[in-house]
Structure 1
Amino acid sequence: MRSSLALLLCAGLAACSMPATRPDAPAGPPGTGLYTQSFGNTPARQVRTLIVVLHGDAPATKPDYHYAFARAAADAVPNSIAVALLRPGYEDPQGHRSPGERGQTTGDNYTPDRIAAVAETIRHLQHRYGQARTVLVGHSGGAAIAADLAATWPHLVDGIVLVSCPCALPEWRKHMKTVAPTPLWDAPVDSLDPVKLVGGMPPSLRAAVLVGGDDKTTPLRFSRLYAEALSLRGIATDFRIIPGKGHELLGDPEVISALQRLAAALPGKS
């Protein structure tokens, strides 16, 4: 979710460095049609890290903050391309839209069909950048989708960076009912619960999990629980609590640093 609270302010990502947008990849593959924007100037044959970025649930806004993060990521990670993806059913402020149903943004849109649409887009990108390892970055609801995808499509991605994750879904929905009371939090959902799927992840996966110490939307207990589950699975996990920070954490330098560390630790593709 960009935030599950309509009053939360947008992260200040506009000040990030601005490598060129690649005009050759304006949309996802036929069959999904998910809208993407790609950033970075590395020629396709020289790309060694493919970074895919997912925004949050954005209940009150049209998301585009993940574009700024992707620009910064492409600038920070050598020999990389960063692709910011609009999740199914979402529209950005410029009028670009991905097909599908957006949902109620109450944890109801982390479903197998939406995860599959993201996975198929990643597979399409991997054909273009055949020598690259793939790192999937997700913020909030996008982090839940990234975690679900890594478990249900094992070996599709090599690393995940989860930021402000509602990774214990039923518990998080109960929490949100106290924060933003509405009967919608009681409605049953078909979404996948990330923490229950950790057993499907390959131990070779690398992960970074970051959360703000003052996050009121996805409190740190959910990220800590998920990071512990990853570690028990044998997955190398970089868990960071960022003191004094809230939910809108994607623009924080600590996230870029975690991405750099993870990308540098990935073995080259043979």
Structure 2
Amino acid sequence: MRSSLALLPLLLAGCATDSAAPQTASQPAAELYARSFGVAHPATLLVVLHGDAPTANPGYQYDFARTLAAHIPDARVVALLRPGYADPQGNRSPGDRGLTTGDNYTPDRLDAVSDSLRRLRARYPQARLVLIGHSGGAAMAADLAGTRPELVDGLLLAACPCSLPEWRQHMKARLPAAPFDQPVRSLDPLQTVGGAQLDLRAVLVVGADDPITPPKFSRAYAEALALRGIATDYRVLPGKGHEILDDPEVLSAAERLAAALPKKG
């Protein structure tokens, strides 16, 4: 099901498929670990943030980034490893992972991600930047769009816990033994949305049967964006659950969003 919430329509366009071979760069210890795929001189830079991954070291963001680079021929796709996380290969980003209870969307962690975004902006000055987040990574992406609006041209949120206090109450009811009721310093996307730039283009995608981040949490944020006059596309995927980053609908949404952004220069 698709719901158009925008005051300005989101342009939909197709993309040809092609990609350069994947490349992985090493970073100094102070930087977040990243893997990059796609062309060396991109028109579009897409940055992927994985979810909270409470029970496993996340690596699925790399697979999605590789696939996305193969579908957008003029793009560079960078999958970041969030602060304090390790991936299945043992690579690690500096920082504190936290308890994964909505406690790690904090100002210091947002600073670490925004530092990476600024470096990427400097490296690819002619590229539009699309920030893509899944689950907890979507909450971080939304917070960054609201607190560092100059860094983000397009925003794609998949399965977002975008109404943070209400989502933590929801999770406490699901997992009574987990400390979802402990105070946190995380920023609530609904409280940061007022800082998003008005020419931002945003897409939110959520599974209709998602037990972790039900559609109401994405819809609340989509409505808040639309009330600001921001072009927003909100989609609910019938029969789908929480792990949707690799879903063809999410891939297609990223392609359309990249095609819709005005070219620089």
User: In 1, Cα distance between the equivalents of 2:20 and 2:191?
Assistant: 38
Q: Is 2:34 the partner of 1:33? A: no
Residue correspondences, number: 248
Amino acid at match of 1:208: V
User: In 1, Cα distance between the equivalents of 2:205 and 2:82?
Assistant: 21
Contact 1:210–1:242, Cα closer than 8 Å, also in 2: yes
Q: Is 2:200 the partner of 1:205? A: yes
Contact 1:102–1:109, Cα closer than 8 Å, also in 2: yes
User: In 2, Cα distance between the equivalents of 1:193 and 1:242?
Assistant: 24
Percentage of matched positions with identical amino acids? 61
User: In 2, Cα distance between the equivalents of 1:21 and 1:101?
Assistant: 28
User: In 1, Cα distance between the equivalents of 2:123 and 2:79?
Assistant: 16
| 1:90-118 alpha-carbon deviations (Å, 9 max, x no partner) | 00010000000000000000001101110
Among 186, 193, 206, the residue aligned to 1:191? 186
Q: Is 2:251 the partner of 1:262? A: no
Q: Is 2:171 the partner of 1:170? A: no
- Name the counterpart of 1:143: 138
- Name the counterpart of 1:245: 240
**Secondary structure class of the residue paired with 1:202:** coil
Contact 1:18–1:72, Cα closer than 8 Å, also in 2: no
Structure 1's unaligned 5+ residue stretches are: 1-16
- Name the counterpart of 1:126: 121
| 1:61-116 alpha-carbon deviations (Å, 9 max, x no partner) | 00000000001111112300100000000000100000000000000000011011
User: In 2, Cα distance between the equivalents of 1:123 and 1:225?
Assistant: 29
Amino acid at match of 1:195: L
**Secondary structure class of the residue paired with 1:176:** helix
Deviation of the 1:31 alpha carbon: 7.9
Structure 1 length normalisation: TM-score?
A: 0.89
- Name the counterpart of 1:70: 65
Q: 1:94 to 1:160 in 2, by over 3 A?
A: same
Contact 1:32–1:117, Cα closer than 8 Å, also in 2: no
Q: 1:103 to 1:253 in 2, by over 3 A?
A: same
Contact 1:19–1:71, Cα closer than 8 Å, also in 2: no
Q: CA RMSD in A?
A: 1.4
Deviation of the 1:21 alpha carbon: 1.9
Deviation of the 1:26 alpha carbon: 2.8
Structure 2's unaligned 5+ residue stretches are: 1-17
| 1:174-225 alpha-carbon deviations (Å, 9 max, x no partner) | 0001111125111000000001111111111010000000000000000111
**Secondary structure class of the residue paired with 1:56:** coil
Contact 2:29–2:94, Cα closer than 8 Å, also in 1: no
| 1:21-74 alpha-carbon deviations (Å, 9 max, x no partner) | 213x233xx58410000011x232xx1000000000000000000000001111
Contact 2:19–2:73, Cα closer than 8 Å, also in 1: no
- More relative contact order, 1 or 2 (CA 8 Å, 6+ apart): 2
